[in-house]
Amino acid sequence: MDEMDVADDGDIPLPQQHLFLDQAKQYNFVAVREMLEASPGLVNVQPAMRWSALHQAAEAGDEAAVSFLLERGADKTLKTKDGRTPLQVTKNAAVRALLGGEKRTAPEGPAEGASPKAAKVSAASLVLKVNYAASGAELASLTWSSKGSVEDLKEELRKKLEPGKVVRTLLKENYPLPDGTLEDAGVENGAILNAVIDVEPTLFLFKPCTASELCSRHQDWCAGEEEDLVQSERAHLAMDQAPEVARKVAEELNEACPGLGGFQVCRSSEGDSPGELLVIANAGEDPKKSCLKALVFPKDSEEWQDKVDENDPECAGLWALATLEKVEWKDYLDKGFNAHKDDDPETMVADGLSSEELEEYRKATKIMNEKLEKHFIFNFSDDAQVAPMIWGGYASDGCIVGIISGRVWT
Protein backbone atom coordinates (compact mmCIF):
# COMPACT_ATOMS: atom_id res chain seq x y z
CA MET A 1 0.00 0.00 0.00
CA ASP A 2 1.27 3.50 -0.87
CA GLU A 3 2.72 5.27 2.18
CA MET A 4 0.57 8.31 1.40
CA ASP A 5 -2.56 6.22 1.92
CA VAL A 6 -1.74 4.86 5.37
CA ALA A 7 -1.83 6.49 8.78
CA ASP A 8 1.47 7.13 10.55
CA ASP A 9 0.24 5.29 13.66
CA GLY A 10 -1.53 2.34 12.07
CA ASP A 11 -2.92 0.70 8.98
CA ILE A 12 -6.11 2.71 8.60
CA PRO A 13 -6.28 4.20 5.08
CA LEU A 14 -6.38 7.99 4.98
CA PRO A 15 -9.69 8.07 3.02
CA GLN A 16 -11.30 6.07 5.83
CA GLN A 17 -9.88 8.45 8.44
CA HIS A 18 -11.26 11.46 6.58
CA LEU A 19 -14.66 9.79 6.16
CA PHE A 20 -14.77 9.13 9.91
CA LEU A 21 -13.94 12.76 10.71
CA ASP A 22 -16.40 13.98 8.09
CA GLN A 23 -19.17 12.14 9.95
CA ALA A 24 -18.03 13.67 13.25
CA LYS A 25 -17.91 17.14 11.68
CA GLN A 26 -21.50 16.65 10.52
CA TYR A 27 -22.44 15.59 14.08
CA ASN A 28 -23.56 12.23 12.67
CA PHE A 29 -22.57 10.38 15.82
CA VAL A 30 -24.63 7.34 14.88
CA ALA A 31 -22.26 6.80 11.96
CA VAL A 32 -19.26 7.63 14.18
CA ARG A 33 -20.32 4.91 16.62
CA GLU A 34 -20.79 2.37 13.80
CA MET A 35 -17.40 3.13 12.29
CA LEU A 36 -15.68 2.82 15.67
CA GLU A 37 -17.36 -0.52 16.30
CA ALA A 38 -15.81 -1.75 13.06
CA SER A 39 -12.43 0.04 13.39
CA PRO A 40 -11.59 1.04 17.01
CA GLY A 41 -8.29 2.57 15.88
CA LEU A 42 -10.15 5.49 14.31
CA VAL A 43 -10.91 7.05 17.68
CA ASN A 44 -7.91 9.43 17.78
CA VAL A 45 -7.08 9.93 14.11
CA GLN A 46 -6.21 13.48 13.04
CA PRO A 47 -4.98 13.45 9.43
CA ALA A 48 -3.66 16.87 8.41
CA MET A 49 -4.27 18.00 12.04
CA ARG A 50 -8.03 17.99 11.55
CA TRP A 51 -10.30 18.24 14.59
CA SER A 52 -10.58 14.85 16.27
CA ALA A 53 -13.98 13.21 16.75
CA LEU A 54 -13.80 14.21 20.43
CA HIS A 55 -13.26 17.86 19.48
CA GLN A 56 -16.36 17.76 17.27
CA ALA A 57 -18.52 16.08 19.92
CA ALA A 58 -17.28 18.52 22.58
CA GLU A 59 -17.93 21.55 20.38
CA ALA A 60 -21.44 20.21 19.63
CA GLY A 61 -22.10 19.85 23.35
CA ASP A 62 -23.17 16.21 22.83
CA GLU A 63 -22.68 14.63 26.25
CA ALA A 64 -23.61 11.11 25.07
CA ALA A 65 -21.16 11.22 22.16
CA VAL A 66 -18.36 12.57 24.37
CA SER A 67 -18.97 9.82 26.94
CA PHE A 68 -18.95 7.14 24.26
CA LEU A 69 -15.73 8.42 22.70
CA LEU A 70 -13.99 8.61 26.08
CA GLU A 71 -15.06 5.04 26.81
CA ARG A 72 -13.47 4.02 23.50
CA GLY A 73 -10.15 5.61 24.41
CA ALA A 74 -10.46 9.12 22.98
CA ASP A 75 -7.49 11.26 24.04
CA LYS A 76 -8.53 14.43 25.89
CA THR A 77 -5.12 16.01 25.28
CA LEU A 78 -5.23 16.03 21.47
CA LYS A 79 -4.93 19.50 19.99
CA THR A 80 -6.22 21.29 16.90
CA LYS A 81 -3.92 23.13 14.49
CA ASP A 82 -4.29 26.23 16.66
CA GLY A 83 -3.44 24.32 19.85
CA ARG A 84 -6.89 23.82 21.42
CA THR A 85 -7.95 20.70 23.32
CA PRO A 86 -11.53 19.32 23.35
CA LEU A 87 -12.08 21.04 26.68
CA GLN A 88 -11.18 24.39 25.15
CA VAL A 89 -13.70 24.14 22.30
CA THR A 90 -16.77 23.28 24.37
CA LYS A 91 -19.15 25.67 26.11
CA ASN A 92 -21.32 22.94 27.61
CA ALA A 93 -20.97 22.55 31.40
CA ALA A 94 -21.71 18.81 31.45
CA VAL A 95 -19.18 18.15 28.69
CA ARG A 96 -16.60 20.29 30.49
CA ALA A 97 -17.01 18.08 33.56
CA LEU A 98 -16.55 14.93 31.46
CA LEU A 99 -13.36 16.35 30.00
CA GLY A 100 -11.91 17.26 33.38
CA GLY A 101 -12.75 20.94 33.44
CA GLU A 102 -14.13 22.73 36.46
CA LYS A 103 -17.37 21.12 37.51
CA ARG A 104 -20.27 23.49 37.64
CA THR A 105 -23.77 23.17 38.91
CA ALA A 106 -25.85 23.34 35.79
CA PRO A 107 -28.50 26.05 36.02
CA GLU A 108 -32.09 25.28 35.29
CA GLY A 109 -32.84 25.58 31.61
CA PRO A 110 -30.22 25.42 28.86
CA ALA A 111 -26.60 24.49 29.50
CA GLU A 112 -23.98 27.18 29.23
CA GLY A 113 -23.44 28.16 25.62
CA ALA A 114 -26.66 26.55 24.38
CA SER A 115 -29.88 28.19 23.26
CA PRO A 116 -33.19 27.18 24.94
CA LYS A 117 -34.08 25.30 21.76
CA ALA A 118 -30.76 23.44 21.78
CA ALA A 119 -31.33 22.40 25.39
CA LYS A 120 -34.52 20.60 24.41
CA VAL A 121 -33.63 19.26 20.98
CA SER A 122 -30.44 17.29 20.26
CA ALA A 123 -29.19 16.69 16.76
CA ALA A 124 -31.62 14.46 14.86
CA SER A 125 -30.79 12.07 12.03
CA LEU A 126 -32.72 13.08 8.93
CA VAL A 127 -33.47 10.62 6.14
CA LEU A 128 -33.20 12.63 2.92
CA LYS A 129 -33.72 12.00 -0.77
CA VAL A 130 -31.83 14.20 -3.21
CA ASN A 131 -32.80 14.37 -6.90
CA TYR A 132 -31.18 16.06 -9.88
CA ALA A 133 -33.02 19.36 -10.37
CA ALA A 134 -32.78 19.14 -14.16
CA SER A 135 -34.01 15.58 -14.74
CA GLY A 136 -35.75 14.60 -11.52
CA ALA A 137 -33.68 11.40 -11.36
CA GLU A 138 -32.43 10.33 -7.95
CA LEU A 139 -28.91 11.42 -7.01
CA ALA A 140 -28.77 9.97 -3.49
CA SER A 141 -30.71 8.76 -0.49
CA LEU A 142 -28.84 9.34 2.75
CA THR A 143 -29.05 10.06 6.45
CA TRP A 144 -27.77 13.44 7.64
CA SER A 145 -27.66 15.25 10.95
CA SER A 146 -30.05 18.16 11.46
CA LYS A 147 -27.04 20.02 12.88
CA GLY A 148 -24.96 19.30 9.79
CA SER A 149 -24.32 22.21 7.46
CA VAL A 150 -25.78 22.68 4.01
CA GLU A 151 -22.25 23.18 2.62
CA ASP A 152 -21.05 19.88 4.08
CA LEU A 153 -24.07 18.10 2.60
CA LYS A 154 -23.25 19.57 -0.82
CA GLU A 155 -19.65 18.38 -0.42
CA GLU A 156 -20.85 14.87 0.45
CA LEU A 157 -23.11 14.80 -2.60
CA ARG A 158 -20.20 15.95 -4.74
CA LYS A 159 -18.55 12.58 -4.06
CA LYS A 160 -21.42 10.86 -5.88
CA LEU A 161 -20.96 12.92 -9.05
CA GLU A 162 -18.54 12.52 -11.92
CA PRO A 163 -15.16 14.18 -11.37
CA GLY A 164 -15.38 17.91 -12.01
CA LYS A 165 -19.07 18.23 -11.19
CA VAL A 166 -20.35 19.95 -8.05
CA VAL A 167 -23.64 20.70 -6.35
CA ARG A 168 -24.02 24.43 -6.88
CA THR A 169 -27.35 24.80 -5.05
CA LEU A 170 -29.75 22.64 -3.06
CA LEU A 171 -33.43 23.43 -3.50
CA LYS A 172 -36.32 22.69 -1.16
CA GLU A 173 -39.64 23.20 -2.92
CA ASN A 174 -37.79 25.25 -5.57
CA TYR A 175 -36.27 27.61 -2.99
CA PRO A 176 -32.47 27.56 -2.40
CA LEU A 177 -31.36 26.37 1.02
CA PRO A 178 -29.55 29.19 2.86
CA ASP A 179 -26.15 28.77 4.46
CA GLY A 180 -26.21 27.24 7.92
CA THR A 181 -27.50 23.95 9.28
CA LEU A 182 -30.31 21.85 7.84
CA GLU A 183 -32.30 22.63 10.99
CA ASP A 184 -31.88 26.37 10.33
CA ALA A 185 -33.02 25.80 6.73
CA GLY A 186 -36.20 24.07 7.91
CA VAL A 187 -35.29 20.68 6.43
CA GLU A 188 -37.26 17.89 8.11
CA ASN A 189 -37.03 14.13 8.18
CA GLY A 190 -38.16 12.62 4.88
CA ALA A 191 -37.51 15.80 2.89
CA ILE A 192 -36.90 15.64 -0.85
CA LEU A 193 -34.27 18.08 -2.07
CA ASN A 194 -33.24 18.98 -5.62
CA ALA A 195 -29.60 19.50 -6.58
CA VAL A 196 -28.50 22.02 -9.20
CA ILE A 197 -25.35 20.60 -10.76
CA ASP A 198 -22.50 22.67 -12.17
CA VAL A 199 -18.86 22.13 -13.11
CA GLU A 200 -15.78 23.77 -11.59
CA PRO A 201 -12.01 23.42 -11.83
CA THR A 202 -11.00 20.04 -10.41
CA LEU A 203 -7.46 18.98 -9.51
CA PHE A 204 -5.90 15.55 -10.16
CA LEU A 205 -2.62 14.23 -8.71
CA PHE A 206 -0.52 11.07 -8.89
CA LYS A 207 -0.60 11.04 -5.08
CA PRO A 208 -4.15 12.22 -4.32
CA CYS A 209 -4.82 14.03 -1.06
CA THR A 210 -7.10 16.67 0.41
CA ALA A 211 -6.68 20.37 -0.36
CA SER A 212 -5.31 21.03 3.13
CA GLU A 213 -2.81 18.17 2.82
CA LEU A 214 -1.51 19.55 -0.48
CA CYS A 215 -0.98 22.89 1.28
CA SER A 216 0.90 21.11 4.07
CA ARG A 217 3.19 19.10 1.85
CA HIS A 218 4.25 22.22 -0.04
CA GLN A 219 5.44 24.30 2.93
CA ASP A 220 2.09 25.35 4.56
CA TRP A 221 1.07 28.46 2.61
CA CYS A 222 0.74 31.73 4.53
CA ALA A 223 0.31 35.46 3.93
CA GLY A 224 1.06 38.08 6.56
CA GLU A 225 -0.25 36.82 9.89
CA GLU A 226 -2.57 34.25 8.30
CA GLU A 227 -1.25 30.68 8.26
CA ASP A 228 -2.40 27.36 6.75
CA LEU A 229 -4.37 29.27 4.15
CA VAL A 230 -6.01 26.21 2.60
CA GLN A 231 -7.88 24.22 5.25
CA SER A 232 -10.53 22.60 3.07
CA GLU A 233 -10.89 18.82 3.31
CA ARG A 234 -12.07 18.58 -0.29
CA ALA A 235 -10.39 15.63 -1.96
CA HIS A 236 -8.09 16.17 -4.92
CA LEU A 237 -8.60 13.19 -7.22
CA ALA A 238 -6.32 10.46 -8.55
CA MET A 239 -4.60 11.06 -11.87
CA ASP A 240 -6.17 7.97 -13.44
CA GLN A 241 -9.54 9.75 -13.21
CA ALA A 242 -8.32 12.80 -15.15
CA PRO A 243 -9.48 13.49 -18.72
CA GLU A 244 -7.54 11.28 -21.12
CA VAL A 245 -5.66 13.84 -23.24
CA ALA A 246 -4.35 15.84 -20.27
CA ARG A 247 -3.65 12.67 -18.30
CA LYS A 248 -1.42 11.32 -21.07
CA VAL A 249 0.62 14.55 -21.09
CA ALA A 250 1.01 14.30 -17.30
CA GLU A 251 2.05 10.65 -17.60
CA GLU A 252 4.64 11.55 -20.24
CA LEU A 253 6.04 14.25 -17.94
CA ASN A 254 6.05 11.83 -15.03
CA GLU A 255 8.01 9.24 -17.02
CA ALA A 256 10.51 11.82 -18.29
CA CYS A 257 11.10 13.38 -14.84
CA PRO A 258 11.28 10.62 -12.20
CA GLY A 259 13.34 12.80 -9.88
CA LEU A 260 10.91 15.70 -9.75
CA GLY A 261 9.59 14.67 -6.32
CA GLY A 262 13.07 14.98 -4.84
CA PHE A 263 14.19 18.28 -6.34
CA GLN A 264 13.77 21.79 -4.93
CA VAL A 265 11.84 23.07 -7.93
CA CYS A 266 11.60 26.77 -7.11
CA ARG A 267 15.28 27.75 -7.22
CA SER A 268 14.78 31.12 -5.54
CA SER A 269 12.88 29.60 -2.62
CA GLU A 270 14.22 29.60 0.92
CA GLY A 271 12.42 26.27 1.39
CA ASP A 272 12.98 22.88 -0.18
CA SER A 273 9.55 21.95 -1.52
CA PRO A 274 9.71 19.32 -4.30
CA GLY A 275 7.59 19.31 -7.42
CA GLU A 276 4.66 17.19 -8.48
CA LEU A 277 2.48 16.99 -11.55
CA LEU A 278 -1.13 18.04 -11.70
CA VAL A 279 -4.06 18.26 -14.09
CA ILE A 280 -6.90 20.78 -13.69
CA ALA A 281 -10.08 19.84 -15.54
CA ASN A 282 -12.86 22.34 -16.36
CA ALA A 283 -10.21 25.01 -16.38
CA GLY A 284 -12.00 27.75 -18.30
CA GLU A 285 -10.29 30.65 -20.03
CA ASP A 286 -8.68 32.26 -16.97
CA PRO A 287 -5.75 30.15 -15.70
CA LYS A 288 -5.25 32.24 -12.55
CA LYS A 289 -8.80 31.77 -11.33
CA SER A 290 -8.75 28.14 -12.41
CA CYS A 291 -5.66 27.48 -10.27
CA LEU A 292 -7.15 29.34 -7.29
CA LYS A 293 -10.43 27.45 -7.50
CA ALA A 294 -8.79 24.06 -8.07
CA LEU A 295 -6.49 24.57 -5.06
CA VAL A 296 -9.60 25.57 -3.02
CA PHE A 297 -7.77 28.77 -2.15
CA PRO A 298 -9.99 31.00 0.04
CA LYS A 299 -10.85 34.61 -0.75
CA ASP A 300 -12.04 35.69 2.66
CA SER A 301 -9.43 37.23 4.90
CA GLU A 302 -9.53 39.68 7.78
CA GLU A 303 -6.04 40.90 7.06
CA TRP A 304 -6.53 41.23 3.29
CA GLN A 305 -10.24 42.09 3.14
CA ASP A 306 -9.59 45.49 1.51
CA LYS A 307 -7.24 44.08 -1.12
CA VAL A 308 -8.75 44.11 -4.64
CA ASP A 309 -7.22 43.49 -8.06
CA GLU A 310 -8.03 46.68 -9.99
CA ASN A 311 -8.12 44.75 -13.26
CA ASP A 312 -10.47 42.08 -11.95
CA PRO A 313 -12.75 42.90 -8.99
CA GLU A 314 -13.59 39.20 -8.57
CA CYS A 315 -10.01 38.71 -7.38
CA ALA A 316 -10.40 40.24 -3.95
CA GLY A 317 -9.02 39.37 -0.52
CA LEU A 318 -6.39 36.61 -0.70
CA TRP A 319 -7.13 36.10 -4.39
CA ALA A 320 -5.81 39.61 -5.05
CA LEU A 321 -2.34 38.38 -4.03
CA ALA A 322 -2.22 35.81 -6.87
CA THR A 323 -0.23 36.60 -10.01
CA LEU A 324 0.01 35.12 -13.49
CA GLU A 325 2.90 35.54 -15.90
CA LYS A 326 2.41 34.53 -19.53
CA VAL A 327 5.49 32.82 -20.95
CA GLU A 328 6.69 30.78 -23.93
CA TRP A 329 8.35 27.54 -22.87
CA LYS A 330 10.41 27.56 -26.08
CA ASP A 331 12.45 30.36 -24.46
CA TYR A 332 13.39 28.02 -21.58
CA LEU A 333 14.38 24.86 -23.48
CA ASP A 334 18.10 25.14 -22.62
CA LYS A 335 17.69 26.07 -18.96
CA GLY A 336 14.38 24.57 -17.78
CA PHE A 337 10.92 25.95 -17.02
CA ASN A 338 11.86 27.03 -13.49
CA ALA A 339 14.83 29.22 -14.44
CA HIS A 340 14.80 32.95 -15.02
CA LYS A 341 14.61 33.81 -18.69
CA ASP A 342 18.10 35.31 -18.72
CA ASP A 343 19.78 32.53 -16.67
CA ASP A 344 22.82 30.83 -18.19
CA PRO A 345 22.83 26.99 -17.88
CA GLU A 346 26.58 26.78 -17.32
CA THR A 347 26.38 29.31 -14.51
CA MET A 348 23.44 27.42 -13.00
CA VAL A 349 25.50 24.22 -12.87
CA ALA A 350 28.51 26.10 -11.48
CA ASP A 351 26.23 27.47 -8.74
CA GLY A 352 25.34 23.96 -7.60
CA LEU A 353 22.55 22.68 -9.85
CA SER A 354 23.29 19.06 -10.74
CA SER A 355 23.47 18.09 -14.41
CA GLU A 356 20.90 15.33 -13.72
CA GLU A 357 18.44 17.86 -12.31
CA LEU A 358 18.99 20.29 -15.19
CA GLU A 359 18.40 17.50 -17.72
CA GLU A 360 15.05 16.57 -16.15
CA TYR A 361 13.96 20.21 -16.14
CA ARG A 362 14.89 20.44 -19.84
CA LYS A 363 12.90 17.30 -20.65
CA ALA A 364 9.86 18.64 -18.82
CA THR A 365 10.15 21.99 -20.58
CA LYS A 366 10.40 20.31 -23.99
CA ILE A 367 7.24 18.27 -23.36
CA MET A 368 5.32 21.28 -22.05
CA ASN A 369 6.42 23.32 -25.07
CA GLU A 370 5.30 20.63 -27.52
CA LYS A 371 2.12 19.40 -25.84
CA LEU A 372 0.74 22.54 -24.19
CA GLU A 373 -0.31 26.02 -25.29
CA LYS A 374 -1.06 29.31 -23.48
CA HIS A 375 1.92 28.74 -21.18
CA PHE A 376 2.02 30.47 -17.80
CA ILE A 377 3.59 30.74 -14.35
CA PHE A 378 1.09 31.01 -11.51
CA ASN A 379 2.49 32.59 -8.34
CA PHE A 380 1.72 35.08 -5.56
CA SER A 381 3.05 38.51 -4.68
CA ASP A 382 5.66 39.02 -1.98
CA ASP A 383 2.81 39.62 0.50
CA ALA A 384 2.46 35.83 0.64
CA GLN A 385 5.63 34.59 2.32
CA VAL A 386 4.83 30.95 1.54
CA ALA A 387 2.77 30.13 -1.53
CA PRO A 388 2.19 27.62 -4.32
CA MET A 389 3.71 28.04 -7.76
CA ILE A 390 2.48 26.29 -10.90
CA TRP A 391 4.38 26.14 -14.18
CA GLY A 392 2.11 24.91 -16.94
CA GLY A 393 -0.23 25.44 -19.85
CA TYR A 394 -3.33 24.12 -21.58
CA ALA A 395 -3.57 20.70 -23.22
CA SER A 396 -5.59 20.31 -26.43
CA ASP A 397 -8.67 19.20 -24.44
CA GLY A 398 -8.76 22.50 -22.49
CA CYS A 399 -7.35 21.08 -19.26
CA ILE A 400 -4.38 22.64 -17.50
CA VAL A 401 -1.32 20.43 -17.06
CA GLY A 402 1.45 21.70 -14.83
CA ILE A 403 4.05 21.25 -12.13
CA ILE A 404 3.26 22.54 -8.65
CA SER A 405 5.70 23.33 -5.86
CA GLY A 406 5.84 25.57 -2.82
CA ARG A 407 8.07 28.61 -2.51
CA VAL A 408 9.23 30.51 0.57
CA TRP A 409 10.15 34.21 0.29
CA THR A 410 10.66 36.00 3.61
Q: What is the pLDDT of residues 58-88, one digit of tens each?
A: 888 888 889 899 999 999 999 988 888 999 9
Q: According to the model, what pLDDT value does residue 4 have?
A: 37
Q: According to the model, what pLDDT value does residue 102 have?
A: 56
CA end-to-end span of the chain: 38
Report the chain's C-alpha Rg in angstroms: 24
Collect all residues with Cβ–Cβ distance below 8 Å to 117 and sequence separation of at least 6.
none
Range in 100-114, 282-296, 337-351, 359-373 the model is least confident about: 100-114
DSSP-derived letter for residue 180 is S
**Does the structure show a pLDDT above 50 at 6?**
no
What pLDDT digit, counting tens, does each position of 94-105 carry? 888 899 875 444
Collect all residues with Cβ–Cβ distance below 8 Å to 359 and sequence separation of at least 6.
none
Range in 2-16, 65-79, 135-149, 199-213 the model is least confident about: 2-16
Is residue 196 within 8 Å of residue 384, measured between CB atoms?
no
Measured between alpha carbons, how far is 263 from 273 in angstroms, rounded to an integer?
A: 8
- Percent of the chain at pLDDT above 90? 59
Quick one: CA dihedral 282, 288, 293, 296, positive or negative? positive
What pLDDT digit, counting tens, does each position of 278-320 carry? 999 999 999 999 999 999 999 988 889 899 988 888 999 999 9
pTM of the complete model: 0.69
Domains of the chain: 3-118 (1.25.40.20), 125-199 (3.10.20.90), 203-408 (3.40.1460.10)
Q: Which of 171, 258, 273, 183 is nearest to 220 (CA)?
A: 273
Range in 18-22, 102-106, 260-264 the model is least confident about: 102-106
What pLDDT digit, counting tens, does each position of 117-139 carry? 333 335 678 899 999 999 999 99
Is residue 171 within 8 Å of residue 134, measured between CB atoms?
no
Q: According to the model, what pLDDT value does residue 331 have?
A: 96
